[in-house]
Structure 1
């Protein structure tokens, strides 16, 4: 565990009603590898250095985080906040820490400078290797579909990766700039997960947030690629809202979120039908679940751990879906389909599903994308969906499939 410095600093978020022009983009511009950057629809955070790391251990993660935040406050930190990433496998070590210094600003969307264009990615001689190959991924989808028709389970999320290698060192600050400016209303992050290793991405999906006694969850499931042609883009959005396959997939996830959160709530509201959320590359079915906590001591992270993993990133039933994932995917997911976010000593926080992401290390990038597989899934369509999801990150590095 790191030793606390003599003085830790915390600069509160600026007045959201009168945000300073350039406040949020200044934090984006100041990011360097090793810092902790997180931009959400409520705030922009940049953490420097490490005051205290959250230790690995047998106790539940939310309890270890609570103890870490309490210890940091007792050691003189004025307003400790934990920031970082939790892996898909909850038994694996997380990458969470209280930064030594924390700067906050309003959300990127409140800063008009976010609309300024970023530099076009430099031409790079990328070597791209899919793992597994597209045809192998499609075969895995077909096997899963057959097992569902045989009645073994109802859904599994299967992922594939792209391994990108460059002759030059990676420019992670430039990648972060392009991700943030392309989808400033989402959740953009760059977080250290190991020596010289960074998890970065732009996720559209809030797992859960808590502010006071109010919680919000925003499950996304069921998606379709966007089109550059406006008429075709609208047609695809309308078709997604009427797709029996995607509506079923979405309903399974929403029901799981409802069931997981209900025990923590005095009241909970779940809309009967989904709406649409769009990113630069995808349309998603979306439902916003809101609730009032029954116990004020329940933290955002405790709620996140109760939800994680949802059927949107794993499947149902969960244990069997995990087994299918382990049997089918020829790689370790690591932090992909885990959660990233922040939490404070009062239990407030935002935790986000770790999708549309990559891990960067020296001259290598590993990109991840997954698709929800149900009995009506077709291997070719699911392979195409994962290819479309890769576009978020490929565009940020100037690479193409």
Structure 2
């Protein structure tokens, strides 16, 4: 993977190789629809946590009580480069392993909703696959395959190596203006046909919009939530509403972040009950899957750009762990939910 025509980019990738060799922390990423690649490099292997007032790159777990990791920006490198989009990949062979367990888990979630304990819960599973590519080669492929996603590669010796291409913004804040999104529902992308959303998907997306409105309005001078639109993320369709607003001057950014995370798109409604159900029933620990990551005051104070850690994988030696999930409501069907996770798994499996 040589970029001799772009010496700055080659230097950035060499920096990443060097950090990996020395087992030092870094994050390299590109925001959606941008051509700027940013590398944040830490000079020692200290594990820093953050209360979201620091400067650097944040990598936060699903369960925020376990603390958010900060990569300190001892060196920050920016490079502009246009990655040509590769052709869509060949069909991925999917395994049926874990099908029964996942359908049983979904059935349990539906029963819990039927009892009135939950309105929605997001249930996930993980799968292990063998790895024949370097982390940097995987990242390079993500950049080329997913121009509309936040693509990243993260490493910390105390935390591990993660990468992904996520379609979902947690929150952006700049000059007191806030931007986020209400994202839910999934259908496979099939040719050029527009998705036909059913009542289950529309209800699921409305729930997320209502939740964001309820959670944020106290902190805002103004809050606008647009109508839902179909958006494409790789081989999937989602429903998304743009959310914009102006924060009150006294609003604490840390409070906004902890109010929004975890979103109903990765946890459920009510949040704490859904979280308890997930932790008691999923049979594995999500760690940083469905957490969030991104820039924290990196280039200006109170300038924040955070993304939800979806469509991601953890790289460990010659193995990759891929995580997939879906939102369960009273209208869910266990077999359909299994198929949805299978469709979602193609995003990362196609890269490997």
TM-score category of the 2 structures, normalised to the smaller one: 0.7 to 0.9
Candidates 70, 78, 83, aligned match of 1:114: 83
Alpha-carbon distance between aligned partners in 1 of 2:256 and 2:7, rounded to the nearest angstrom: 31
Match of 2:136 in 1: 173
Alpha-carbon distance between aligned partners in 1 of 2:324 and 2:273, rounded to the nearest angstrom: 21
Matched ranges for 1:75-86 at <5 A: 81-86=55-60
Q: Per-residue deviation at 1:173?
A: 0.6
Q: Is the 8 A contact 2:41 2:72 kept in 1?
A: no
Q: Deviations over 1:18-51 (max 9, x none)?
A: xxx9699668745434531121136531112347
Match of 1:266 in 2: 221
Match of 2:41 in 1: 48
Candidates 200, 212, 225, aligned match of 2:188: 225
Match of 1:78 in 2: none
Instruction: Name the CA shift for 1:309/1:341 in 2 (closer, same or farther; >3 Å).
Output: same
Candidates 106, 126, 133, aligned match of 1:161: 126
Candidates 169, 173, 187, aligned match of 1:210: 173
Q: Secondary structure of 1:115's match?
A: coil
Match of 1:4 in 2: none
Instruction: Name the CA shift for 1:25/1:182 in 2 (closer, same or farther; >3 Å).
Output: farther
Q: Per-residue deviation at 1:394?
A: 0.4
Higher mean C-alpha displacement, 88-97 vs 35-44: 35-44
Instruction: Name the CA shift for 1:182/1:116 in 2 (closer, same or farther; >3 Å).
Output: closer
Instruction: Name the CA shift for 1:52/1:254 in 2 (closer, same or farther; >3 Å).
Output: farther
* Superposition CA RMSD, Å: 2.8
Alpha-carbon distance between aligned partners in 2 of 1:353 and 1:374, rounded to the nearest angstrom: 21
Q: Deviations over 1:299-324 (max 9, x none)?
A: 3x542222001111101111111121
Q: Per-residue deviation at 1:289?
A: 0.3
Alpha-carbon distance between aligned partners in 2 of 1:318 and 1:297, rounded to the nearest angstrom: 22
Instruction: Name the CA shift for 1:94/1:24 in 2 (closer, same or farther; >3 Å).
Output: farther
Instruction: Name the CA shift for 1:254/1:176 in 2 (closer, same or farther; >3 Å).
Output: same
Q: Per-residue deviation at 1:287?
A: 0.7
Q: Secondary structure of 2:83's match?
A: helix
Q: Per-residue deviation at 1:189?
A: 0.9
Q: Deviations over 1:65-118 (max 9, x none)?
A: 42xx3xxxxxxxxxxx41031000111132212221101245xxxx4x311649
Instruction: Name the CA shift for 1:28/1:260 in 2 (closer, same or farther; >3 Å).
Output: farther
Q: Is the 8 A contact 2:169 2:181 kept in 1?
A: yes
Alpha-carbon distance between aligned partners in 1 of 2:65 and 2:184, rounded to the nearest angstrom: 25
Alpha-carbon distance between aligned partners in 2 of 1:375 and 1:27, rounded to the nearest angstrom: 52
Q: Per-residue deviation at 1:330?
A: 1.0
Instruction: Name the CA shift for 1:196/1:221 in 2 (closer, same or farther; >3 Å).
Output: closer
Query: In the comparison of the two structures, how many residue pairs are matched?
Result: 335
Q: Is the 8 A contact 1:47 1:101 kept in 2?
A: yes
1:326 lines up with 2:279 in the alignment: yes
Candidates 139, 142, 152, aligned match of 2:104: 139
Instruction: Name the CA shift for 1:103/1:136 in 2 (closer, same or farther; >3 Å).
Output: same
Structure 1 residue ranges without an equivalent (≥5): 1-20, 70-80
Structure 2 residue ranges without an equivalent (≥5): none
Alpha-carbon distance between aligned partners in 2 of 1:176 and 1:205, rounded to the nearest angstrom: 18
Match of 1:365 in 2: 320
Q: Deviations over 1:325-371 (max 9, x none)?
A: 12221110000000011111611111111100011111121110110
1:182 lines up with 2:182 in the alignment: no
1:87 lines up with 2:87 in the alignment: no
1:37 lines up with 2:28 in the alignment: yes
Q: Is the 8 A contact 1:117 1:181 kept in 2?
A: yes
Alpha-carbon distance between aligned partners in 2 of 1:54 and 1:260, rounded to the nearest angstrom: 31
Match of 2:292 in 1: 339
